[in-house]
Amino acid sequence: MRVLVKGAGVAGLAAAFELAARGAAVTVVEVRHCLGGNASWMAGGMLAPWCERESAEQPVLDLGLCAADWWDAALPGHVTRAGTLVVAMPRDAGELDRFASRASGHRRVDEDEIALLEPDLAGRFQRGLFFPGEAHLDPRRAMAALYEKLAARGVEFRFGVDARHLAGFEREIDCTGIAAGDARLRGVRGEMLILHAPDISLSRPVRLLHPRLPLYLAPRANHHFMAGATMIESLPAGPATARSMMELLNAAYSVHPAFGEAAIVETGVGIRPAFPDNLPRVERQGGTVAINGLYRHGFLLAPAMARQAADLVFDQDKPAEHADETDSQRRSA
């Protein structure tokens, strides 16, 4: 079966992986001239279903539980299973209690345990929450590795091509994110920084709670850190603003003053595609299956969404009533 995947973000790459694994002849078409530059490229790479449940609905937790295993199986060695550490300044202790009451899968940690988990944060925070089951990966390395693996398996990639003008495929999966032209979608702007701070090491993502300016620092190789991210209800993908950068840098500095000496390697903006309920959807319309609305959970949810989309693609020969039933089940999963 010849399947066209539109878009090479995390949704498109994960869908291509699932389809190729099930024997489809897959072509991935990406309008950009190379991998990256999209929302997926700007992500923190946190696979944090329990933390995300603090602000997300239950399906995000349920669907996200398989993510670390999926990425580990797809790309051995890319997933770090070291949990997530959530901290707050003493004056924001109420934020920690509020977060704890809205999330599960954590235990309270004191100053000593924080120091054991992250020696460079010794003495800086008295209380925190540790989510031991969570994981993270470097989204850019993971996307590049997935691309290479797919290409090696015979998946065809066409870059610099607008997929709207292609025909001749038996099935299509639309993974074009905010560009999908779905009137229900809105864009949520996420601004981020990549910092190089040679004097600091972190083993896991650290989230700093704050009533107005929450921050996370996701560790990357060689003392690089992704600091993110703003959540601005706005579509334009123009450059990051000075205000957002100042706020993120201030927050990073309050996690550890050594971030004041960090080199700013990059600033970036990604537009998260979101449906009104902030939940992802896999939907079928005619011959096209669409994965969209991954919002702030693309790496967390792409595995489950890709599996559902591949099921729908291979289910298309089923009788109509059964297929409709399956579609609505997918939406509410």
Give the angle subtended at the CA of 41 by the CAs of 39 and 47, to the nearest 5°.
Answer: 90
Beta bridge partners of 168: none
Site for ligand FAD in 14-43 (CB under 6 A): 29-32, 38-40, 42-43
Which listed range, 18-26, 106-114, 288-296, 322-330, lies at the site for ligand FAD (CB under 6 A)? 288-296
* Least gap, CB of 322 to ligand FAD (angstroms): 28
Binding flag, residue 11, ligand FAD (CB under 6 A): yes
- Binding string, residues 177-196; x marks residues near ligand FAD by CB under 6 A: x-x----------x-x----
Contact 59, 92 (CB under 8 A): no
Alpha-carbon span 125 to 130, nearest angstrom: 13
Alpha-carbon span 82 to 132, nearest angstrom: 7
Alpha-carbon span 307 to 96, nearest angstrom: 35
Which one among 3, 185, 300, 309 touches ligand FAD, defined by CB under 6 A?
Answer: 300
Amino acid at 287: G
Which one among 4, 10, 306, 313 touches ligand FAD, defined by CB under 6 A?
Answer: 10
Please report, for residues 5, 34, 38, 255, 308, the alpha-carbon distance to residue 25 in angstroms, rounded to integers and kept in the order given: 11, 21, 25, 48, 18
Which listed range, 18-26, 73-81, 110-118, 297-305, lies at the site for ligand FAD (CB under 6 A)? 297-305
Amino acid at 328: S
- Binding string, residues 240-279; x marks residues near ligand FAD by CB under 6 A: ------------------------------x-xx------
Angle between helices 298-314 and 10-21 (to 10 degrees): 40
Which one among 4, 5, 12, 225 touches ligand FAD, defined by CB under 6 A?
Answer: 12
Q: Give residues in contact with ligand FAD (CB under 6 A).
A: 6-12, 29-32, 38-40, 42-46, 162-164, 175-177, 179, 190, 192, 228-229, 270, 272-273, 294-300
